[in-house]
Structure 1
């Protein structure tokens, strides 16, 4: 597998290794992927709960765009 990073991303990875928390670049990337997976699962779960509330609850006066925007900001 070949992955390309921007200069800013490379600098961030190097700084994380320099702190001593990670032994090498691969550890930083693995941790980032693990955290992304946790975040993604949470977002999907949150959306599912909101959809269930919508199906089970009364009609809303908010538009779909307003609902989506409220989830992105909060």
Structure 2
């Protein structure tokens, strides 16, 4: 597998290894992927919860556009 990183990402990875928190670049990437997986699962679960609230809640008189605008302003 061949992966390309930006200069900024390479510098970040190098700093993590230099800090002593990781032994090598691969550990940094594996940890990043693990954290991404956890984050993604949380986002999906949060969305499911909000969808269930919507289905189970009372009908709204607001339009979809109004609801989206309200969520964006939070």
Q: Where on the TM-score scale, by shorter chain, does this alignment land: which range?
A: 0.7 to 0.9
Q: Extract unaligned runs of 5+ from structure 1.
A: none
Moved runs in structure 1, 4+ residues, more than 6 A?
Answer: none
* Distance (whole Å) between structure 1 residues aligned to residue 71 and residue 47 of structure 2: 9
Q: Normalized against structure 1, the TM-score is what?
A: 0.85
Q: How does 1:1-74 map to 2 (within 5 A)?
A: 1-60=1-60, 61=62, 63=64, 64-66=67-69, 69=72
Structure index of larger Rg: 2
Q: Extract unaligned runs of 5+ from structure 2.
A: none
Number of matched residues? 71
Q: Normalized against structure 2, the TM-score is what?
A: 0.85
